Chain A
Amino acid sequence: MVKRYTKTPVGAHYGTGDWLLQRLTAVVMAVYTILLAIPLLVHRPYGYEMWKATFSYRWFQVATLLFVAALLYHAWVGMRDILMDYIKPTALRLAAQFAVGFVLLFYLVWTASILWGR
């Protein structure tokens, strides 16, 4: 006998939001890659002074922080997908997800300190 599934599927629907944000952050990173990273690679600011000057423009700093922030959210969704696929024991998976989230937050603070600290 097959029992009819009577529960109404409910949830926080955060999956949909994450799905959408993973794509929006991808677009942000793609724009940064095309408009800033590739020209930077072609022009190659050679020498410490030029390299430092490039990263001292306020708009470049803000764009770079935006890129990294987008990357971190994107990586969070992606890594969580991978962990959900391969790590079945709940405790282990949650521990791994916690570690990933913690590391990503650390990277965000680190990026801000690289760009504005010192």
Chain B
Amino acid sequence: MSAAPKIRPKYYDLNPAHLPPPGLVSILHRVSGALLFFPALPIALYILHVTLGSQEGYDRWAAFFSRPGVKLVVILAAWGYAHHFFAGIRYLLLDLHVGIAKAPARSSAVIVLVLGFLAALAFAWCIW
């Protein structure tokens, strides 16, 4: 055995666009979860606090939410929630060994990505 181990090259392809669908669902599940914890959760609690607190607080936030830019951000947050929701249900099913083989796991990942996007669209249609 040689004294110094040879440095082996690493080829990690970390480009999300090159990930297989289950990998993409996985990293988006993690990122959306972290973003829901911060900043989405404290902002949501603050809005609940203010809008339930007084008529003025409610009117202030209602006016703020009527801006298109704000609506866009809220739709993005809803997309994060929806993706986390559907990906989570997929993981619950995988835990129960439903669709655990490679091919169904791949197609369920694609379904999760599509459902998350469709839910965000439905949400957008609902609030616009």
B30 contact from A82, A107, A118, Cβ within 8 A = A82
Let me know if A107 and B52 touch, CB within 8 A: no
With contacts A51-B51, A78-B33, A111-B45 taken as known, whether A27 is within 8 angstroms of B92 at the C-beta atoms is yes
Q: Which residue of A lies closest to B51 (CB)?
A: A51
A35 to chain B, nearest CB (A): 14
Q: Does A71 contact B (CB under 8 A)?
A: yes
* Number of A residues with CB within 8 Å of any CB on chain B: 23
Residue A110 at the chain B interface, CB threshold 8 Å: yes
Cα separation A51 to B61 with both chains bound (whole Å): 13
Closest CB of chain B to A100's CB: distance in Å? 8
B45 near A71 with CB under 8 A, answer: no
Q: Which of A38-68 contact B (CB under 8 A)?
A: 41-42, 47-48, 51-52, 55
For chain B, give the interface size range. 20 to 34
Shortest Cβ gap from B54 to chain A (Å):
8
Q: Decide: A51 and B41 in contact? CB cutoff 8 A.
A: no
Contacts of B53 in A (CB 8 A): 118
Q: Is the interface of A mostly helix, strand, loop or mixed?
A: helix
Q: In the complex the two chains form, is B48's CB within 8 Å of A114's CB?
A: yes
Measured CA separation A26–B92 after assembly (Å): 9
Q: Is the pair B85, A71 in contact by a Cβ cutoff of 8 Å?
A: no
The residue in chain A whose Cβ has the minimal distance to the Cβ of B59 is: A48
By beta carbon, the residue of chain A nearest B33 is A78
- The answer to whether B99 has its CB under 8 Å from any CB of chain A is no
Q: How far is the CB of A87 from chain B (nearest CB, A)?
A: 13
Q: Which 4 A-B pairs have the closest CB atoms?
A: A48-B58, A75-B37, A48-B55, A114-B49
Report B's interface with A, CB cutoff 8 A: 30, 33-34, 36-37, 41-42, 45, 48-49, 51-53, 55, 58-59, 85, 88-89, 92, 95, 123, 126-127
